[in-house]
Amino acid sequence: MIFLEATWAEVLGNKLFMSKISGIVIAKNEEVDLPDCLESLVWVDELVVVDNDSIDETAKIAKKYKAKIFSYKKEASTGKFSAIRNYAALKSSGDWLLYIDADERVGRKLKEEIQKTIKERHDNNAYAIPRKNILLGKEMKYGGWSPDYVLRLIKKSSLDGWEGELHEQPKITGSVGKLTERFTHITHTNLHEMLEKTNKWSEIEARLLYDSKHPRMNIFRFATAGLREFWYRGVRKMGFLDGSVGIIEIIYQTYSRLITYSKLWEMQIKKNQQ
């Protein structure tokens, strides 16, 4: 009887102090990608979806997976990606936070590694997770796509907040480690989608450059910006080894960089005309 009592006490104690994990998805009009994303997170202790002003079926899909749904538009105002991630952390109750985008998936091996890491390892306060990037249906291995680590598994008590308007990064108190297994990141599936994203993100990047007092654009700066991107993707990172998709990606990234600087030029011209 004493043995049974001790055993139950031990079990209850372990359950009481067992680390819980919150899976966090920030989504805006993600009715296409969201189901597979949430399906890959059904194992977490808490599923949190922050709906960033969607006008499609995003919220309805999240309800099917019994997610806790929060509307960012109604309860926050800055609109920066870092602010949305900070908002999501406040709404989560897990000891560990796993941030995942709607176009990412957690496979079985990554799930098992995360669970084992949280249960058995106590040497780090956050972990970077590599991604397998799928572009236009092809896994990208060159051109700067691999390895592609993203800092997404974070002990909540060690998160000092996310910073940055675009390509935001978390500030962590304590050490950061790396996991071995990868997210599957299903990025652009067609060229139309790629160009739409460039038009949206280049506006933000150009504004950040403008606000940082970037030198006025001229022929030399346009030329060197394009050449640097082409050299990095196509030569240094050997993007051509990914075949036709690799060549398309080299051209696209160079184009995207030049569009950003073209929008910066436009802002600078308008400022001088005032």
> Is the separation of the CB atoms in 139 and 187 below 8 Å?
no
What average pLDDT score do residues 26-47 get? 96
Pairing of strands 96-99, 149-155: antiparallel
Q: Output 2 or 268, whichever has higher pLDDT.
A: 268
Number of domains in the chain: 2
For residues 173-183, average pLDDT: 96
Compute the average pLDDT of residues 45-55. 94
Confidence of residue 150 (pLDDT cuts 50, 70, 90): very high
- Using DSSP's 3-state secondary structure scheme, residue 85 falls into helix
Integer Cα distance of 62 and 34 in angstroms: 8
pLDDT beyond 50 at 267: yes
pLDDT for the residue 6: 39
* Together in a domain, 63 and 175: yes
Are 207 and 169 part of one and the same domain? no
How far apart CA 26 and CA 69 sit, in angstroms, is 10
Residues counted in the chain? 274
Residues 225 and 89 both lie in one domain: no
pLDDT for position 273: 79
Return the pLDDT at 223: 96
- Which range, 13-17, 82-86, 150-154, 208-212, is most confident? 150-154
- pLDDT at position 39 is 97
**Residue 223 and residue 95 share a domain:** no
If asked whether residues 195 and 168 sit together in one domain, one would say: no
Same domain (yes/no): 238, 113: no
Give 8's pLDDT tier (boundaries 50, 70, 90): very low
Instruction: Give the end of a domain, one of 134, 169, 186.
Output: 186
User: Rounded to whole angstroms, how far apart are CA atoms 233 and 105?
Assistant: 26
Domain shared by 178 and 232, yes or no: no
Domain that includes residue 265, residue range: 191-273
Per-residue model confidence (pLDDT) at position 15: 44
Q: Is 126 in the same domain as 67?
A: yes
Q: Of 186, 201, 224, which marks where a domain is finished? A: 186
Confidence of residue 74 (pLDDT cuts 50, 70, 90): low
Same domain? For 75 and 195 the reply is no
Q: What is the pLDDT of residue 272?
A: 78
CB of 240 closer than 8 Å to CB of 253? no
Predicted pLDDT of residue 10: 42
Residues 124 and 172 in one domain: yes
| 21 neighbors 44 (Cβ within 8 angstroms) | yes
User: Do residue 65 and residue 161 come from a single domain?
Assistant: yes
* Overall average pLDDT of the 179-199 stretch: 94
Q: Is 159 in the same domain as 58? A: yes
pLDDT of residue 53: 86
Give the mean model confidence (pLDDT) for residues 66-85.
77
Q: What would the pLDDT profile of 244-263 be if each residue is shown by its tens digit?
A: 999 999 999 999 999 999 99
User: Residue 167 has what pLDDT?
Assistant: 82
Residue 62 belongs to a domain with what CATH number? 3.90.550.10
- pLDDT number for residue 76: 44
Output b/e per residue, 121-141; b: 16+ Cβ within 10 A.
eeebbbbbbbbbbbbbeeebe
Residues 159 and 172: beta-carbon distance below 8 Å: yes
Q: Which of 27-41, 75-89, 244-258 has the lowest mean pLDDT?
A: 75-89
Q: How far is CA 161 from CA 13, 64, 85, 128, 173, in A?
A: 31, 30, 8, 16, 10
Which of 157, 186, 215 delimits the end of a domain? 186
Q: How far apart are CA 97 and CA 46, in angstroms?
A: 10
Continuous H helices in the chain: 2-17, 34-39, 58-64, 72-75, 81-90, 108-120, 191-211, 219-230, 243-273
Residue 16 is predicted with a pLDDT of 43
Q: Cβ–Cβ contacts within 10 Å for residue 247, how many?
A: 14
Asked if residue 53 lies in contact with residue 73, where contact means CB atoms within 8 angstroms, the answer is yes
Mean pLDDT of the chain: 90
